Each structure stands twice: as C-alpha cells, then as structure tokens.
Amino acid sequence: MKGHAPRKRFGQNFLADPHYVTRILDAVEPRRGENVVEIGPGLAALTAGLIERAGHVTAIEIDRDLAARLRSSYAPGQMTLQEADALDFDFATLGEAQRIVGNLPYNISTPLLFHLMQFTTRICDIHVMLQKEVVARMAAAPGTSDYGRLTVMLQAKFAVTRLFVIPPGAFRPAPEVDSAFARLTPLGSAAPRIADEVLFARIVAAAFGQRRKTLRNALASICGDAALRAAGLDPGARGETLAMQDYVRLAAILAG
C-alpha cells in the first residue's frame, strides 16, 4: 500500500484497479476549470486523473499521514487540501457549482450523504463509490424491499442513478462486499417544496421506524387518520408503499 497501512477506524479501502479508475473518471468527465471536490483522496488513485482533466482539485482528507503525502505530491496550484472530517465540513465555503467525487467509507456513507443534502444549492453533482446495497436503497422504487428512509430523503433532493458495480478485487484491502458507483444530481427547480424540513424528516423516519407498522400506528405521535386521509393516504397502508411525493404532501398538510 505504498508505505501506508489502511486504518479501519477511517474505513480505508483504496481503489487500486486502473480499469475502474478510468471508468470513474470517464463517468465524472471533469473539465478544465470546474470546481472539483474530492472527499477522501487517500492514496490519490483518482486524484491524479481529476487534476489532469480539471487542472485543480480541492481535497478533503481526515487522515493526517495521507494529508502529508498529498501535500508533498501536489503543488498548491494543483490541489487545495482541507485536512478535515467531511462529516462536519462546511461545503458552503468551497464556492458554487461543486462537482463532488468520493470513495466514501461504508461506515459513514449514510450520514455523509445526509450532510451533503444541506448544500444542494452549491452542488452541481455528486459521484460516489458506496456499498452496492446502499446504492440500491438510494435508487429504489416504492414497494420494494430496498425502499426506505434513505430513499425518500435523497430522492426529495436528488435524481439518483446507479452507474456500475465495482468488485471487491478493485480495492486494497478488498472489502467483503461489492461496491457501486452512483451519480446524484440536485433536482434544482424540480425539487418538491418542503415547507418544514424537520417535520418532513420526522415523518419519514417514523414511517420507516418499524416497517411492518401501518401509517396509522407508525405516525400516531405525529398525526391522526384525518390528516392521512386529507393527504390522500390510506391509514392502513405501510410506509414503504408511499412515493416520496406522498410524504411531501403529508408534511405540507401538517405544516399548515
């Protein structure tokens, strides 16, 4: 691993297969002058290609040793290095039209995606490597086993596309599961208007808290049958059968 021992606490599995490096770069298609932001560049498998195509990358790296290696490898004109935890990093400081790329550690992938949701007006698109099962949940349709809280919350902000699967052997060390590469594109003006984001998130979390519960039971602490029916929903239905727009409509009714 070029003198670096992967750290489990950072969930480090480094992309090492040149074939998949090229596939990812071709899918992202960074262009000269674009505001490219790489989360967790690690051993820089993607970084060199991103810099070659875009000219400059802003990199966010939590590992001090890897940050030091990056500083010694790339000039300030090629890379602006933020030695920080992406989970609490303020992406608003990085300007407009951000093109975010990352091989996200599986143990923080969901909270990091929720964190990035706060910055959709600053983001052009997000390209990420994640556990295959997580990508399946992100892109799921209502009524399927993969459909859940993550699906609804993300699809209220992004169009989600699974691009291709990446096998464990493409990484060092190899993870125990397949990965997938996905694109998230902010919906912009097509995004549903959510009057109360906190209420919306609370409704979605409660609806999927216990999947076998009906809406009547799952949302009992939030609303009654009358509000559900006013939103055109069957109180006896389960949360997994509702489309994202159904949750938006219910939240709007409850927000008044």
Domain boundary among 189, 215, 245: 189
Q: Are 99 and 170 in a shared domain? A: yes
Q: What is the rounded CA–CA span in Å between residue 194 and residue 14?
A: 38
Q: Determine the pLDDT at residue 10.
A: 44
Q: Are 101 and 152 in a shared domain? A: yes
Of 62, 63, 38, nearest to 51 by C-alpha is: 38
Q: Determine the pLDDT at residue 104.
A: 83
Q: Does residue 2 form part of some domain? A: no
Q: What range defines the domain where residue 212 resides?
A: 197-255
Q: Determine the pLDDT at residue 148.
A: 96
Domain boundary among 172, 189, 206: 189
Q: Are 239 and 185 in a shared domain? A: no
Q: Does residue 3 form part of some domain? A: no
Peptide bond connecting 192 to the previous residue in cis, omega within 30 degrees of 0 = no
Q: Averaged in consecutive runs of 10 residues, what is the pLDDT profile of the chain (256 residues)? A: 48 81 97 97 92 97 92 96 96 98 87 96 97 96 96 98 96 87 97 95 96 95 97 97 97 94
Domain boundary among 189, 208, 224: 189
Q: Does residue 97 form part of some domain? A: yes
Angle (CA) 92 98 101, round 5°: 115
Provide the CATH number for the domain around residue 80: 3.40.50.150
Q: Does residue 134 form part of some domain? A: yes
Q: Does residue 99 form part of some domain? A: yes
**Total count of domains within the chain:** 2
Q: Are 156 and 55 in a shared domain? A: yes
